[in-house]
Amino acid sequence: MSDEAAIPQPDFKPSKLGTKDYWDKVYNREVINFKDHGDIGEIWFGEDSAVKMVDWVEEHYEGEKETCAILDLGCGNGHLLLDLAELGFEDLTGIDYSPAAIELAKAVAEDKEVDHIIKYEAVDFLAEKETLEWCAQQATPGSDSHGEPKKFKVMLDKGTYDAISLHQKSKADAVAAAAAANADADSGEREDEESVAKDNIVLAENDDNMEELADRYPKRVASMMRDDGRLLITSCNWTQPELIQRFSQYFEYDCHLKYPTFTFGGVKGQTISSVVFRKK
């Protein structure tokens, strides 16, 4: 087990990007845009990062396309799984805590005629009870799982951990985040800030101590993963060494994806980090 004192803590402030209310509003707009214009919405970190992630999965699991269980954590519009479906992968699942994101992902998959391959569901995977119940529901009757909760071999995260890391840590932070989200909304969409704060502050479980959701993430992800599974996470908020340290209790470093680098103050770095972890 790692020394908790060595685990880097966020040095960025809570943000509206860490609230469910913000993402519900974003994806509600994108559902409308897709229906009106066929636009699937924004691809976080650009197309290049998505291509690199998909290429890595194909390179390492080319011979397991029919059986490799892949889970996209915080799938948004589902573009990662769309690309994997086009490559022939068949056991594809995307989850997101925003029902509007799932509505969009399903609509896009249906439009691309791959809705029979990809399963999308609204799940808050940071909630232990909800996660266990959902994984149990995924077990295929009559399979070798013998009714055990489904475990995934490959888990993908592009920006979800970043958003979770921006979650508010107190009721005051929740109110401030709600106010910021409402400031961006049309006047007709604005909601009572205290009500929104209450909804956002209980993102994962009804705990009063406001445990850091970013600290909860590695344990929850590990609980859904097979013993030989891998997690590929892409972040712009955390560096590769920081991710390795923060995930060290449940995961060990496997490899990383390469991006163009820059040098500042004699130190070489990347604006995006994509790290592959193996479950301990």
Q: For the chain, give every domain's residue range.
A: 4-279
Least confident of 46-55, 124-133, 164-173: 164-173
Which residues have C-beta within 8 Å of that of residue 38, sequence separation ≥ 6?
111
Most distant pair of Cα atoms in the chain: their distance: 59
Query: How much is the average pLDDT of 70-80?
Result: 95
Q: Which of 142, 191, 148 is nearest to 19 (CA)?
A: 191
**What sign results for the dihedral spanned by CA atoms 36, 80, 43, 201?**
positive
Q: What is the CATH number of domain 4-279?
A: 3.40.50.150
Give the best-scoring range by mean pLDDT among 182-191, 197-206, 237-246. Answer: 237-246
Query: How much is the average pLDDT of 251-270?
Result: 72
Query: How much is the average pLDDT of 163-177?
Result: 65
Cα–Cα distance, 14 to 132 (Å, whole number):
28
* Residues written for the chain: 280
Amino acid 156: pLDDT = 98
Amino acid 148: pLDDT = 80
Query: How much is the average pLDDT of 248-273?
Result: 76
CB atoms within 10 A of CB 271: 10
CB atoms within 10 A of CB 114: 17
Identify the residue with better confidence: 85 or 270.
Answer: 85
Identify the residue with better confidence: 38 or 170.
Answer: 38
Report the predicted TM-score, pTM, of the whole model to 2 decimal places: 0.78
